[in-house]
Chains A and B, each alone.
Chain A
Amino acid sequence: MQRREFLKLSALSAGALALKGSGPAKALGTPWHAKEVRSVYQICEGCFWRCGIVAHAVGNRVYKVEGYEANPKSRGRLCPRGQGMPQTTYDPDRLKRPLIRVEGTERGEGKYRVATWEEALDHVAKKMLEIREKYGPEAIAFFGHGTGDTWFVDFLPAAWGSPNAAKPSVAICTAPREVASQWVFGRPIGGHEPIDWENARYIVLIGHHIGEDTHNTQLQDFALALKRGAKVVVVDPRFSTAASKAHLWLPIKPGTDTALLLAWIHVLIYENLYDKDYVEKYTTGFEELKAHVKDFTPEWAEKHTEIPAATIRQVAREMAAHKPQAVLPPSRHTVWYGDDTYRMMALYYVNVLLGNYGRPGGFYIAQSPYLEKYPTPPLPLEPAAGGCSGPSGGDHEPEGYKPRADKGKFFAKTTAIQELIEPMITGKPYPIRGLIAYGINLFHSIPNVPRTKEALKGLDLYVAIDVLPQEHVMWADVILPEATYLERYDDLVAVAHKTPFLELRTPAHEPLFDTKPGWWIARELGLRLGLEAFFPWKDIEEYLNTRLQSIGFDLETLKGMGTLVQKGKPWLEDWEKEGRLPFGTASGKIELYCEKFKEAGHQPLPVFTPPEEPPAGHYRLLYGRSPVHTFARTQNNWVLMEMDPENEVWIHREEARKLGLKDGDYVILVNQDGAREGPVRVKATERIRKDCVYLVHGFGHKAPLMRIAHGRGASDTYLQTRYKLDPISGGAGLRVNFVRLEKAERPRLPALTGLAKRPFDERRI
């Protein structure tokens, strides 16, 4: 509707303009594709799916990116973020040169002076060495997110000797599903969910936002499944995009998914619908599971989930009728209610009872491609930020090194980024005095923002390596502006997949302004920190070529291909031919009962805990994704913002009416702790239950230098002042916050079109 009005207006103004007389002057430029175009293989950085792309550049500007057929992630197609992402490189608000916070100012005041790289890096290294001298190497934490983060959360901290390296993509995202998968299957799920969508005949999505989440390959596969007539069931308190494609929508009461899954396990077992041969051949612990779910009947689950028992039964029977081509894909963001490892275990158990793990139409077995590391002296520590341990559950530190500061707060070895904030404030179990933040958005990912701000204020050193002047960046002591993905090489990306593959990022043009690639920044820092032995290579091409030569390949050849695909072993029968099974569990089988959890004081089988009810007048705050945005990274990109310029708070139409609110009104959201966000536009809709509201994540930017993003919509993270720690995975359950709505004025903001038309010029910062 908005767009239609807009188009009408532009048509009117067109007429008005023409009536003024002689006809407007025309400036007909040559289109980019008619000029001399240079094309290179790249890897998209629009999200973390990392599609292989070709970037088409004219001079120092990439005009268009496209997928290419040979890349198993893009297969010649690209999502909206990928298509629009080049604009970020040419964003006038970009960080352009190294900055040092003006002496005597506080963190958060945002007062900076321009520095040379030499001065900025010397400053950082000197401070880091001082902190190490006084407290030890573990007193520097390394946070990162994005393809370039390998240098800053894996390599550099391992070489430096700090175990406190973390990514938000673990404890604020995938931790429960990864930990549960390690303990059930002895294998990770990994960055590219190994679901054989195309052969699935019956797909059950639980809180899985495919369609709003536009992970390219997955969306292609989902559409292919639909096209081939797969039945889709969507379990979600909200009528999501996926629900609009589903044959059945189950509007579950938020927080009761585990009850539903336990009831499905009950029906599959007690109605003898499960795959008996599969269970016998590949699993242990079935009898314990059977006894455990005896009382978890659909009638029991109905009371909690508000889904009719008959429907629960019907879906279980339909799943069974389609097995093993019936699948419940794990969603990516699984930190919901603090008991999430149990939910994910239960989800995997349903899949196992359908006999689909390692079979077409279910889970394929993803393998990593063969690749060697660059030969360096052994690093003092193992890189661990990626976070998911094997099923041992206990990690051991080498002599002379401290354990991670979050150790002991939960069971698994996953790194819990939010648990590294407290030690910055309290100094317990030991002080963390410095933070290197690469690409991560500290205020739009880690819950309890006031606590993060307090922690930052007290640090001896805070360095941000980034592309945009995000709010948290403008708190740093030193800001190191990175070249964008289009301007740099990164390390090879090795993707575990049905057909494992390596992909290469090559720069489409030189870095603009005084920006530098991550690898260069990491190496220069390393040299200043006395870590030169770990950086024996002179430049990235030498580094990449050496790694590729170790597998009988070379950089020049890969530059001409982009992607190197290897052979996989996706199915159980591929493994059985070799006389083995892929399960890395203690028993070598799929484990339906977890002895280790029991030993550690947890439940060996998934249990359901009813969620806390919203306080009177409050709604549970749910959140999700926009297909054109990635987290809080894309809201200053005008091309993407035009498609989705602000988030809306979804509320059921009747609830809105009760509050005196109309569709399109603006409100402030106030959470249970008094945190206020907005104004944000109201979407009064039938598409959501009455006990919750929903926001797309990533909006509500408070960074004044991000002129487009600033002040549009509301931030869910700022409303997540509390979280519930999953005591097994360390995941931060975020759906435990409640909000009420206060009517507000529509914010007065500069027009997007005007901001988009600003020239790409040099500014002070």
Chain B
Amino acid sequence: MPRYAMAIDLSLCVGCAACAVACKMENEVPPGVFNLWIREREVGVYPDLLVEFRPEQCLHCENPPCVPVCPTGASYQTQEGLVLVDPKKCIACGACIAACPYDARYLHPAGYVSKCTFCAHRLEKGRVPACVETCPTGCRAFGDLDDPESPVSQALKAADRVDVLRPEQGTRPKLFYLNAPSKRGLTRESEVRHD
């Protein structure tokens, strides 16, 4: 049984949002809600600057806080490690939306909670998620974390630096960020200058 994971190389990502648009089309995501979005942060003072482009989406945590809070079992984890929502069981109570530390979930206008599925329907056909396939920079790697030859394992091995979002939450994300532009790792809102 594969254990699906994704890695995004931030030294290559230009924040073009090809992934976000491909996701929108592939998954018919309605206006106003997003499975996947880009966070852009500028850190530093002219001319010593860095800009981090960081795509964000459901991290398909190994220890997902959104699953145990679901009263109906609509939120669940598959054997391949995908965290999914069964719309038929979902009563849209919003507990999982509140529990997710990454704001990855939203209420779909059709009346259930939705989010990134790692394009489970494509995985069934042996295809990678739409965001991975389309990325012009090739900054996304996907595959089986238990297979050392998989693109994601290879990318993790080759990376100079690997980060996950909010590791202190203990969620054990399976979305990894590689080669963050800052030596301090992923940028934080507190590093951004405001007037």
Where the two chains meet, the residues of A that have a C-beta atom closer than 8 Å to any C-beta of B are 1, 3-4, 6-8, 10-11, 13-15, 17-18, 23-29, 31-34, 63-67, 76-84, 86, 211-212, 214, 216, 219-220, 222-224, 226-227, 239, 241, 243-245, 249, 251, 627-628, 638-640, 642-644, 652-653, 656-657, 662-663, 684-687, 752-753, 756-757
Contacts and interface: CB of A to CB of B under 8 A. Distances in A.
Nearest to B97: A11
What does DSSP make chain B's interface, helix, strand, loop or mixed?
loop
28 contacts: A4-B39, A7-B37, A10-B32, A11-B94, A11-B105, A14-B107, A14-B113, A18-B93, A24-B111, A28-B110, A31-B121, A64-B26, A77-B18, A84-B24, A211-B15, A212-B14, A214-B18, A219-B16, A241-B14, A241-B51, A627-B15, A644-B17, A652-B46, A653-B195, A686-B46, A687-B51, A756-B31, A756-B32
A313 B136 CA distance: 34
B61 interface: no
A685 B42 contact: yes
A662 B134 CA distance: 37
Contact of A216 (B12, B24, B33, B136): B136
A753 B133 contact: no
Interface stretch (B75-83, B84-92, B144-152, B167-175): B84-92
B25 interface: yes
B25 A86 contact: yes
B134 A83 contact: yes
A35 to B, nearest CB: 12
Contacts of B21: 80-81, 83-84, 628, 639-640, 643
B46 A23 contact: no
Given A14-B92, A245-B14, A686-B49, A83 B22 contact: yes
Contacts of B17: 80, 627-628, 643-644
Interface of B: 11-12, 14-18, 20-22, 24-28, 30-34, 37-39, 42, 44-47, 49-51, 53, 87-88, 90-94, 97-98, 103, 105-107, 110-113, 121, 130, 133-139, 181, 189, 193-195
Contacts of B98: 11, 15
Contact of A223 (B30, B103, B121, B137): B137
A14 B134 contact: no
A23 B111 contact: yes
A472 B29 CA distance: 33
Contact of A227 (B12, B32, B112, B133): B12
Given A6-B32, A14-B94, A223-B12, 4 more contacts: A7-B37, A18-B91, A23-B91, A249-B47
Nearest to B11: A226
Contacts of B112: 26, 28
The list of the 3 closest CB pairs from A to B, nearest first, reads A14-B107, A24-B111, A756-B31
A127 B26 CA distance: 47
A516 B8 CA distance: 43
B84 to A, nearest CB: 14
B133 A23 contact: no
A535 to B, nearest CB: 37
B138 A224 contact: yes
Contacts of B90: 26
Contact of B12 (A17, A226, A640): A226
A3 B138 contact: no
A532 B51 CA distance: 58
A760 to B, nearest CB: 13
| Chain A CB within 10 A, most for which of B16, B20, B49, B135 | B16
Nearest to A758: B31
A573 B105 CA distance: 57
| Chain A CB within 10 A, most for which of B11, B51, B91 | B51
Contacts of B27: 31
A685 B46 CA distance: 9
A14 B106 contact: yes
B193 A653 contact: yes
Contacts of B106: 7, 10-11, 14
